[in-house]
Amino acid sequence: MKTRTISPLNALLMLTLIIFWGSSSVVVKIALREGLTPIPIATFRFLIASALFLVALLFKKNRDRDYTLFVKKKDAPTLLLLASLESLSSSLFNARAFRWQEQP
């Protein structure tokens, strides 16, 4: 089996991902306890994720000049469907989880 080494940058990025992912439920629980409702919490999480994705895309574009940020026309319907299904399933799951946490 062929092995590869992980660069320090990739290791740092993975560690950052693990920390953000692992702490998200704790942060949501604290935000709910402080009086925020699920909609502003989800909105804030999506805004942060969108900003991070934009930074990553722009960083990638600067490193690779042949890289494009545009979606091909033939891929647009599939991407729209996947995005809708992900948002819907995530919202349903989170709504159920928030209701479950609020029960005594």
Residues, the chain: 104
> What single-letter DSSP state applies at residue 72?
P
The more confident residue out of 78 and 103 is 78
Q: What SS3 state is found at 20?
A: helix
User: Does residue 24 contact residue 45 with C-beta atoms inside 8 Å?
Assistant: yes
Q: What is the pLDDT of residues 8-62, one digit of tens each?
A: 888 888 888 888 878 888 888 899 999 998 888 888 888 888 888 888 777 766 6
User: Does residue 101 contact residue 32 with C-beta atoms inside 8 Å?
Assistant: yes
Q: Which helix (H) or strand (E) holds 7?
A: none
